[in-house]
Amino acid sequence: MASGSMTMTTVVVETNLLSRQELRDRLQAVGDSRYHHRHPFHLRMHRGELTRGQLQAWALNRYYYQSRIPIKDSLLLAKSDDPAFRRAWRKRILDHDGDKDGYGGVEKWIQLAEASGLRREQVIPCTGVLPGVRYAVDAYLALVRDNSLLIAVASSLTELFSRDLISLRMDQMRLHYPYLTPGLAYFVGRLTQAPEDATFALDYVSTHAATRAQQEQVIQALEAKCAILWAQLDAIDYAYVVPGNIPPGAFVPDCD
């Protein structure tokens, strides 16, 4: 009877486990409600309501996020003892850093900032970045550094939702802010990179979340990452939409 009740316990646990599709649906629901495509600042951007100075502030602040992505991926690589996983994941560092100086996603983001009218020397030192943006990005590094590989991989799953946002953003930028058009190469690259990366990460978490508790960790990691993206836009929207709100020491646009 002892082995019988153990079997029953096992069955209960397995029934409790979400199927791959159920897990995918839960992650989609998080994205639908919490991904930053719904943020007021993005809605303003897509309606063409932002000034050049506000777009400069966005590009300059988000550069801090972009510049930390390969650092985040390096922290993540360091968590894996599997050469095959590391080979697959290191593509991301290559995508952002490129093969040589002047290539890669970080450089392309600088070109977007330049298209907005900033000089690269204003952007690269990150001196004018809003403290609120810095704390949010640093929270992302801490999330990856201080948690399991499963949670770290799951926190990248916002890429499941990025292609639609990037497509819309490119269309609206060409329409409302044509001066940005020479700087859109970053988004062109991400249109194919992000879905590839998301597919890999989704497959990884679907395979490696072996218990319901781990599946819930995956979902919570995606929620946490959505909050990190959202909070960056909160800080930007607060500082640069209402006059008088730029905190001491932060970037001040020299144009409207």
Residues forming the site for its own copies (CB under 8 A): 33-34, 40, 130-132, 134-136, 138-139, 142, 223, 226-228, 230-231, 234-235, 237-239, 244-245, 247-249
The distance of closest approach from Cβ of residue 98 to its own copies in the complex, given in angstroms and rounded to an integer, is 30
Choice between 60 and 231, CB closer to its own copies? 231
Both tokens assigned to 3: 């082995």
Both tokens assigned to 68: 């930390």
d(CA 209, CA 124): 38
Nearest to 185 by CA among 70, 102, 91: 102
Nearest to 201 by CA among 152, 130, 256, 236: 152
The distance of closest approach from Cβ of residue 217 to its own copies in the complex, given in angstroms and rounded to an integer, is 17
> Half-sphere exposure of residue 58, counting CA atoms within 13 Å on the CB side?
20
Choice between 73 and 237, CB closer to its own copies? 237
The distance of closest approach from Cβ of residue 225 to its own copies in the complex, given in angstroms and rounded to an integer, is 11
d(CA 20, CA 182): 41
The distance of closest approach from Cβ of residue 105 to its own copies in the complex, given in angstroms and rounded to an integer, is 24
Choice between 152 and 180, CB closer to its own copies? 152
Choice between 200 and 230, CB closer to its own copies? 230
The distance of closest approach from Cβ of residue 239 to its own copies in the complex, given in angstroms and rounded to an integer, is 7
Which segments of the chain does DSSP mark as H helices, in order?
Answer: 2-16, 20-34, 40-46, 52-77, 83-97, 105-115, 120-123, 131-146, 149-154, 162-176, 185-208, 212-241
Choice between 134 and 212, CB closer to its own copies? 134
Choice between 33 and 211, CB closer to its own copies? 33
The distance of closest approach from Cβ of residue 171 to its own copies in the complex, given in angstroms and rounded to an integer, is 25
| Distance (Å) of CA 191 to CA 40, 43, 50, 162, 197 | 23, 20, 23, 8, 11
Both tokens assigned to 7: 């079997």
